[in-house]
Structure 1
Amino acid sequence: MRKIVFGLAALLLLSAVPAVGGEDEKVYEWEYTLIHSDLPLYDFECEDFWPRGMVGEDIIAGCETRVAFGDWQFTPNPADQFPHDPVWYRLSNYGAIHCATNIRTAPKRDELDEGPFSRGFFARIGEGRRDGRTFEIWVLQQGMIPGSEYTLLARNGGKDDLIRSFRVLQSRCPKSNLLKARNSDVWQTRSCKINDRRQLLRFARRMLREPDYGTLELIEGVEEGPETEAPDPIDNPKN
């Protein structure tokens, strides 16, 4: 069974699907609700916040990242009977002085050039345990005004090489954090409001114990030079 929720990073909406089975049969509900904060929760004071400025005696300017730039694909968990559609992401480097990730999304890879645009960062926010194993917990923080949206991510810890894949976690929003307008007909207003780093980490650790929502994997990498066609933040401060 699936609840009506916002899709991955607010790109697509899912339709309600009736439960399968008899009345006494328990059906697992997969859930992904948009997570939103009034202001961005993570910034360059965080140790693992990427991309960020390069540091070195011979470096004048430049940005480095732990998460590979290129075309990524979200693939839903095959155990989900009513999965979210696959989603493509194009991640690119914004610039050499001011660092950020340009993000374009689309249901098909050949539509990425014209897909919705946003700007964001990846942040490692802590660790969690599942099945006796330790995982790094990350977020994709998208947008700046008015606030940011979050995708909860996890990966096996231990290596500091360039990241090319993540587990995408569900977001089964606690009722105390759930916002939803009344009498909106079919239009979706549901979101999960979290304005505290510690609360978001606790929530992510709980989601780590649930089945993964899917995977986010790099399909093809690109050079890390600035994307010259990306809009300037001054022209579009909401990004």
Structure 2
Amino acid sequence: MILHADSPLFGDETEDKWPQAFLSDDAKEFGCTSRVAFGDWQIEPSDPDEDPFWYRISNYGVFHCWANVAQASAREALAHAEVVPSFFIFLGTQGATELWALQKGAVPGSDYLLLARERGDGIIRRFFLLQRDCTGQALRKGRQLDILNTRYCHVASPADLLGIARKMVKREPLGVLALVPEAKDDGEIDSQTP
């Protein structure tokens, strides 16, 4: 089930939106910083019958800060996948758990992945991928298109998205979304954050 808003729920006014711009006190250093690591991420599903899925998360630039996110069923396909401007949003907490969303796209609107992690500092390299559920008037369905899915969950506000995340964090996660280190030419694994 896709979580979708007709226009992005989080804009420039959102403080906990990553990547975000920084400027040093002396204005000599500036650019984009992120709490979430850039690189190739893999969803390892909880269901053993499901296949892993890949995301490539990269920094767009220095003056305009957002993450370029590509997705594909295989890591090798990421190089040719469409890139979507995206942001990681810290939604709040539920006990000792941080609730996050990946806001993907801007026009026409944004899609959302719900994520969770244990509270912590430093660069984020791992999330739990939360389930997505929708009921009532938020459930939208288009005309039948053969076997294609036309259903999605319309999310009207940041509060609605947080409400869904608070419910979903109580369920078993769909899987783990984790940064996968790059393999060096000498066969070793580079554990440094890109």
Q: Same fold (TM over 0.5)?
A: yes
Q: Measure, in 2, the Cα distance between the counterparts of 1:135 and 1:223.
A: 23
C-alpha deviation, 1:81, in angstroms: 5.8
Aligned residue runs from structure 1 range 33-48, under 5 A: 33-48=1-16
Q: Measure, in 2, the Cα distance between the counterparts of 1:220 and 1:104.
A: 17
Q: What does residue 171 of structure 2 align with?
A: 210
C-alpha deviation, 1:173, in angstroms: 1.2
The count of aligned residue pairs is 184
Structure 2 residue matching 1:113: 3-state secondary structure = helix
- Unpaired runs of at least 5, structure 2: 183-191
One-letter amino acid of the counterpart of residue 74, structure 1 = I
Residues 127-154 of structure 1: CA distance to partner in whole angstroms, max 9, x if unpaired?
114xxxx200000000001110000000
Q: Measure, in 2, the Cα distance between the counterparts of 1:106 and 1:179.
A: 25
Larger radius of gyration: 1
Aligned residue runs from structure 1 range 1-12, under 5 A: none
Q: Does 1:189 align with 2:121?
A: no
Farther-moved stretch of structure 1 (148-157 vs 212-221) = 212-221
Aligned residue runs from structure 1 range 199-238, under 5 A: 199-220=160-181
Contact persistence 1:106–1:116 (CA under 8 A)? no
Q: Measure, in 2, the Cα distance between the counterparts of 1:216 and 1:60.
A: 32
Aligned residue runs from structure 1 range 54-203, under 5 A: 54-58=22-26, 59-77=28-46, 80=47, 82-83=49-50, 85-129=51-95, 134-157=96-119, 159-203=120-164
Residues 185-216 of structure 1: CA distance to partner in whole angstroms, max 9, x if unpaired?
21221110011111111111000011101000
Residues 47-102 of structure 1: CA distance to partner in whole angstroms, max 9, x if unpaired?
2110000132234530000000011100101xx3643x211111111000000001
Structure 2 residue matching 1:62: 3-state secondary structure = strand
Distance change (3 Å), C-alpha of 1:81 and 1:164 = closer
Q: Measure, in 2, the Cα distance between the counterparts of 1:82 and 1:143.
A: 29
Instruction: Quote the sequence identity (%).
Output: 41
Distance change (3 Å), C-alpha of 1:74 and 1:101 = same
Greater strand fraction, Structure 1 or Structure 2? 2
Q: Measure, in 1, the Cα distance between the counterparts of 2:49 and 2:143.
A: 26
Q: Measure, in 2, the Cα distance between the counterparts of 1:113 and 1:213.
A: 25
Aligned residue runs from structure 1 range 6-25, under 5 A: none
Q: What does residue 52 of structure 1 align with?
A: 20
Q: Measure, in 1, the Cα distance between the counterparts of 2:172 and 2:116.
A: 12
Normalising by structure 1, we get a TM-score of: 0.73
Contact persistence 2:42–2:54 (CA under 8 A)? yes
Contact persistence 2:19–2:88 (CA under 8 A)? yes
Q: Could you say what the CA RMSD is over the residues aligned between the two structures, in angstroms?
A: 1.6
Structure 2 residue matching 1:54: 3-state secondary structure = strand
Contact persistence 1:44–1:52 (CA under 8 A)? no
C-alpha deviation, 1:160, in angstroms: 2.0
Contact persistence 2:115–2:130 (CA under 8 A)? yes
